[in-house]
Every structure is written in structure tokens, then in C-alpha cells.
Structure 1
């Protein structure tokens, strides 16, 4: 028998996954009875999951309607990128003190694969490789709460990425070059402050590309 907390987490995962993968579209109402039946719980864990998703700005409450999928507007997207720049900069700096030689080699392989995908214009694979690159770095970060917050913020941005709004062909070659520089900084074990600033600026340049496009 699942505990109430586990049921809440399960309901949260079900709803959030469907928002991120586009199963639940912006404006769609979340039916509490339906979710409760699917996860085998009472209404309470589902309501708790909904409140959490409201705090993450993935759902919003509408009077006489209930919880609906909020999606992400331009302003929230920009704010999420700004927060992500701070979180990822710090996570990269922490990871730098723990990353192994094998970890560095793996980063080089991923970045090389990104270059091949770009040259072959297999654009649909670049986003997944970019995520793999950064989260491989974070696999060396011992701060689990920090990584959880990064994952949640990426999840919000994934809603926009799913619609194909965040791919910038002109930005991608520069991003791959920046990855190579970041790998070099990690390999040379430069100061944490230098790595944090570089990783932060790397993310902020994506925000700059978004602003130019919007």
C-alpha cells in the first residue's frame, strides 16, 4: 500500500509528465476524479500534487473551472532561463571539483556527437544531446536539492521546447564551441569562480538569442 506521500508524488509525476510531453495542452482542465482513479488514491494526494504544480507555474487555478494547464509565456520563459543560469553556474562549479577524467572524456564524446548532428542537420537530436551534456556534468554534483531544482526548471522549459520554439540554428555552433571551452576549463581545473561565471554566461547567451528572436 502506497503512503499518502508516495501517492502524491505519483500523481505529481503523472500530471507533470503529461504537461511536459504535450499530452495535456495549455488551457486543458485537470480532472481530479480521473487522476485519482488512475493513481489509485483519494482526492487529497491529487490536490496536493496540483498545488505543487501550481507553485511551479505549470498549472493555474481558475474560479468555477479548477486547475488548468498554464504553459509558459515569454516572460516566464525568460525568468526561468535567468534562474537556470544561476543554478547551473553554481552546479557546474561544484561538479568541477569532483569530475573525473572519464567524465571529461564523456563530455568530449557528447560534444563531438552534437557537432556531427549539426553538420548532418539532424536538429531534432541536438536538444537531447545538449541536456545529456549538462546533466552529465551535474552527475558529479553532490547537492541533490540543487539538481532537483535544475530538473524542475528544465521541465518548465521543455514545454516550450516540445513546441519547437527554442531551437536557434545560429546559436548552436557557438554553443558547441562554448561546450568545448567549458570542457577545457574543467580539464585544466581552473578556479570554481571562473567556471561558475563561464557556465552562467553560457546559459545567458541562450536567453540573448531568445530575446533577439522574440
Structure 2
């Protein structure tokens, strides 16, 4: 008699594949491998990713919910294009929420979490040396979200996560010098955490985000010259 997998195990496997597809497509969109306005051909995409249409559809719905894809009246997905107004909205919200979350984290973050942030930043420096920008992008997100989650305010961090999930990335267009400067700023944040200097940390996070907004704006301008 054939042994059939339990329904629960099938569900876990489906969700795992769907999550992997989601993360792969999200990275390709944020790093402009899938271009703004590009239509998503599901059969081609499923074949390229080595998956079936079912987890792919779930991943596409999640990407639409995060604002990275649009769905037209005929049911076709396309990669969303971030205009200047979108950039301003996202970065304005980040400037409101992330410095506040960082300040709140000062009195609540554990020593082992500060150590983890330092280790993540060291790994980012190695990724720069190796020229691995995919890895750098993943670690950059891990650094920031680890910091903000230390504020122990789940509603706040959920909103911040949503902003990061659908944000336009600037990392692929940064020079090596920009990446190195980002690592320096991360080190300064770790120092502020170790000294429990809330004002310094808040200002560092705010400046860090402002620089990201400026770089993205410059990139948008260069594309339309």
C-alpha cells in the first residue's frame, strides 16, 4: 500500500516553496533584474524557477500586496514602477518610524543582540570585499530589522517590515564607496547602542535613511535624463 504524505506536511512544503519563490522574485524586482513595467509570464517564470504554478501564484499575490507587482483587468501581473511620489511616501514614513524604533530599542536591546548586529555588519564588509551585492542586500535588511525589532513594539515593527518588503532598493546602484560608508554608519550605530546613547542612535538612523532617499532620487533623475 502506498504511503501518502500527511496533509500537514504537504501544506508546510507548499508554503516553504511559495516563500522561496516570493523571496527570489522580490530580490529580482528590488535589484531591477525584473524591470519596472515588465509583464510577468507565469509559465516562463515557473519553468525558470523550477516550480509549479500553485506556489508561484501565491508568491505573486504576496508581491502584489506589497506593492511590487500590479494586476491589470485581464489578470496579468506586471512589475510596479516607483515614481517620485512613491519614493517620497516610503522614505517619509521610514523617517518617521525607524528613528523612533531605534530610540525605543536603546533601553530594551540585549547585549547578545548588539553582538549579533556587529557580526552582521562584519559579514556585510566581507560581502563588499567579495563583490557579493546579493549577500550585502540581505545582510543590510537583517541589520536594520534586527535593530528595530529590539524596540519590542510588534505593531511598529510590522509596519516597518511592510515598508521594507515593498521598498525600492538602492543597493545595486551604489558604488563600493557607498557600501563601505554604509558599513561605517552601521558601526557607529553599534557604538551608540553599546553606549546607550539614544539621541546619537536616532540621529544616525535618520541620516542613514536620508542618504538612501537622496541616492534613489539621484538614480531616478539619471534614468530620465
Fold-level match, TM-score > 0.5?
Answer: yes
**Root-mean-square deviation (Å):** 3.8
- Matching residue of 2:40: 28
Write the mapping of 1:193-208 to structure 2, written as runs, cut at 5 A.
Answer: 193-208=199-214
Distance 1:112 1:22, change over 3 A: closer
Q: Is 2:152 the partner of 1:142?
A: yes
Contact 1:30 1:67 in 2 (8 A): no
For residues 106-142 of structure 1, give each alpha carbon's deviation from its aligned partner in whole angstroms, at most 9, with x where no partner exists.
Answer: 2222222222332x24232211221221122123122
Paired with 1:113 and 1:15, the residues of 2 have a C-alpha distance of: 25
Q: Does 1:111 align with 2:117?
A: no
Residue in 2 aligned with 1:38?
Answer: 54
Q: Tell me how many residue pairs correspond in the alignment.
A: 193
Match of 2:75 among 66, 89, 95: 66
1:6-52 deviation digits (Å, cap 9, x = unpaired):
xxx99x979965751449x5433789xxxxx937xxxxxx8xx95x8
Separation (CA, whole Å) in 2 of partners of 1:166 and 1:150 = 23
Corresponding residue for residue 186 of structure 1:
193
* TM-score relative to the length of structure 2: 0.65
CA shift at 1:196, angstroms? 2.2
Match of 1:122 among 117, 123, 131: 131
Cα pair distance change 1:210/1:147, threshold 3 Å: same
Q: What is the distance in 1 between the residues matched to 2:180 and 2:24?
A: 32
Distance in 2, matches of 1:74 and 1:181, equals 32
Unaligned 5+ runs, structure 2: 1-6, 9-14, 44-52
